[in-house]
Amino acid sequence: MSTISKENYLKTIYTECNNGKGIVTSSVLSEKLGVTKAAVSDMAKSLSKLNLINYKPYKGISLSKKGEKIALQIIRRHRLWELFLINVLNLTWSEVHEEAERLEHCTSDLLVDKIDDFLNNPKFDPHGDPIPNRNGVMPPLPKLIKLSDVKIGEKYKIARVNDQSRELMDYLTKINFKLNAEIQINDKLNYDNTLLIQNKSASISLSEKITDKIDVILIK
């Protein structure tokens, strides 16, 4: 069992468990990782023997304390690398995810702590995801609202993008839709729930497929 495969499973289990009920199904892991359900089952058995997950066939999968610790270490490396690549090496929003995927598996704790200190111990990565500290503790999250659920006439701050696909990130960059930018909701089309939004530089429209992937904070 490769270390990279093991770490990718643990990271994905952590992410999916924290998005839902505390467990993840083999079907979801199969879809997220692009592997067969049989491959998920084989890996789950191996991870269970290493006491990294809690696994019973057909009952779902969750992380053990040991597995969660490793998952948080990988997530920390990934998110710090993303921020470093943007802030220091000037990579684009859409480029950093794939590069961080490679770097997260070959970075020592010493180096990642040095990167953390160099970046002044940031709380969030370039996509708005929280960065665990060196003790594996996540920073508190503000109250987030899906962009698809906002109210017409209100002002919001862009806080998080929940899809890091290159195509989406390139498009958001093209329309100058940036993290922490302020926006105002001008209208919503009943036909397909497209939002008409005003940001600092222009009026833009976003489909529900996109707004469902973005979280914002209400500006009071």
Q: How confident is the model over 174-198, as a mean pLDDT?
A: 93
CATH 1.10.10.10 placement within the chain: 3-63, 72-141
What phi and psi values does residue 213 have, to the nearest 5 degrees? -100, 5
User: What architecture (CATH level 2) is domain 72-141?
Assistant: Orthogonal Bundle (1.10)
Contacts of 62 (CB under 8 A, 6+ apart): 13, 17, 22, 23, 24, 53, 54
Instruction: Answer whether CATH 1.10.10.10 is correct for domain 3-63.
Output: yes
Strands, E, within the chain: which ranges?
Answer: 53-55, 61-63, 145-146, 155-161, 182-188, 195-198, 203-206, 214-218
Q: What is the mean pLDDT of the chain?
A: 92
Q: Is the pLDDT of residue 1 over 60?
A: no
pLDDT: which is higher, 48 or 22: 48
For 94, residues 6+ apart whose C-beta sits below 8 A from its C-beta are 166, 169, 170, 173
If 0-12 CB within 10 Å is exposed, 13-18 middle and 19+ buried, where does residue 16 land?
buried
For 16-29, what is each residue's pLDDT tens digit? 887 666 889 999 99
Residues present in the chain in total: 220
Task: In whole angstroms, give the CA distance from residue 41 to residue 164.
Answer: 27
Domain(s) labelled CATH 2.30.30.90 in the chain stretch across 145-218
Residue position matching structure tokens 């270490």: 73
Percent of the chain beyond pLDDT 70? 98
Alpha-carbon gap, residue 20 to 214, rounded angstroms? 17
Token digits for 17? 């468990």
**pTM as predicted:** 0.90
User: Could you tell me which residues are beta bridge partners of residue 202?
Assistant: none
Q: Tell me: pLDDT of 207 over 80.
A: yes
Supply the CATH classification number for the domain 145-218: 2.30.30.90
pLDDT of residue 177 exceeding 70, the answer is yes
- For the cut 90, the answer to whether the pLDDT of residue 94 exceeds it is no
Q: How far apart are CA 139 and CA 163, in angstroms?
A: 21
